[in-house]
Amino acid sequence: MQAAVLKAFGSPLVVEEVPDPVIGTGEVIVDVVAAPVLSYADEVFSGARRYLLPPPVIPGCGAVGRVRTVGPDATKLRVGDWVFCDPTVRSRDDAVMPDIVLQGWSARGEGGQRLQGYHRHGAFAEQVRVPTENAIRIGALTPEEAAPWCAINTLLVPFGGLLAANLQAGETLLVSGATGHFGSAAIAAGLAMGAGCVVAPGRNAAVLADLARRFGDRVRPVRLTGDAAADRARMMAAAPAPIDCVLDILPPSVDAAVARAAVMSVRPYGRVVLMGGVGMLGGDDLALPYPWIMRNAITVRGQWMYPPEAVIRMVGLVRAGLLRLEEYAVTAFPLAAVNEAVAHAAAQGGPFRLAVLRPGAEAPQPSAVSR
């Protein structure tokens, strides 16, 4: 099969013939129809993000495709089923504290690296082998629909945070990092889950205006000034009711003071979920006042990725029309143009924009238009 291979960090990907994946018990082989190219893929492949992804490796985080072969222990999946290939692979020998790897993307810890030694190659290829439980049926599609469905790869990340926050219908949500790739997805997911209002702080006035245009009065944009106390007051004032929960999904480049101002806008007895990268590249860590947390009974928790059932729940939101994949403007590239796709994702990535690889496609093409 044809695949894009990362030979070394800092080198372009090389498209070449590689052996087809070989199936084992508890596994599925999927024909990749579309694979998302994340907006920061160039930073991963250059080595700037210091991800544990030892080359040579076929990268690629998630895919939409059709089942080619099922293992002997599969009871529901059938050849030809349309599936989402969930890149979040968990070890099967510890149900309480499983090691986790993002297939074709990153690993964490010694256990994760051992797991990555087997579930190594990702979806920038004509075929991908995934654990049976990671090939999740999404219902019938046309090949043209596969590319927009890659958007759930982005949406699932903040969706996991909102599930961890136990977001309830009618509640007021604040998304810290609302103008980013994952933050804007958090707004769409939160509204689909029934949030009564989403407060959307950010510095980019054009993106804030676009969020209001897309989603109407249920989104309350707040332009950040850099004055933490003033920004916190503005966020609280923008909400029509006390802020029930805060999801922070800021990137590593943002100062901790920005996250702190958003976190401390939550009401007494409120919930805070941390999913961003504050402090990962150095700088101050997120420091929250002990008395404020204790006296206001604030729940603060971290969340990395999402639980296994999240994919099924998100598919339900999409199929019910509550979550519109049509919001995403998708540009598709053939596998042979993988380096152009990576460059495009870096230059054009942002809210509701997505680059995908389409094995067999002939030229870059828009496959969906944002409304």
Same fold, 2-151+328-368 and 156-302: no
Q: Where are the domains of the chain?
A: 2-151+328-368, 156-302
pLDDT in tens, 322-350: 999 999 999 999 999 999 999 999 999 88
Nearest to 52 by CA among 2, 115, 96: 115
Question: Encoding tokens for residue 295?
Answer: 């006296």
| Low-confidence residues of the chain: pLDDT under 70 | 360-371
199 within 8 A of 238, measured Cβ to Cβ: yes
SS3 content of the chain, % helix, strand, coil (to 5): 30, 25, 45
CA distance 31 to 23: 13
Looking at the chain, how many residues does it have? Answer: 371
The pTM of the full predicted model, rounded to 2 decimals, is 0.92
- Rounded to whole angstroms, how far apart are CA atoms 153 and 162? 15
Nearest to 33 by CA among 66, 81, 60, 77: 66
Q: Which residues 6+ apart lie within 8 Å of 132 measured at CB?
A: 26, 27, 28, 70, 71, 73, 74, 77
Q: Are 83 and 123 in contact (CB under 8 A)?
A: no
As beta bridge partners, residue 188 has none
Fold observed for domain 156-302? Rossmann fold (3.40.50)
List, for residues 183-240, the tens digit of each pLDDT value: 999 999 999 999 999 999 999 999 999 999 999 999 999 999 999 999 999 999 999 9
The string of DSSP codes covering 342-366 is HHHHHHH-STTEEEEE-TT--S-EE
Closest to 129 measured CA to CA, from 1, 4, 22: 22
Instruction: Give the pLDDT score at 366.
Output: 39
Phi, psi at 190, each rounded to 5°: -60, -40
Half-sphere exposure of 284 (CA within 13 A, CB side): 10
DSSP E strands: which ranges in 244-294? 245-248, 271-274
- Regarding the domain with residue range 2-151+328-368, which homologous superfamily does it belong to in the CATH classification? Medium-chain alcohol dehydrogenases, catalytic domain (3.90.180.10)
Half-sphere exposure of 55 (CA within 13 A, CB side): 18
Question: What does the pLDDT read at residue 360?
Answer: 59
Neighbour count for residue 121 (Cβ, 10 Å): 21
pLDDT at position 200 = 98
Return d(Cα 153, Cα 170) in angstroms, integer: 26
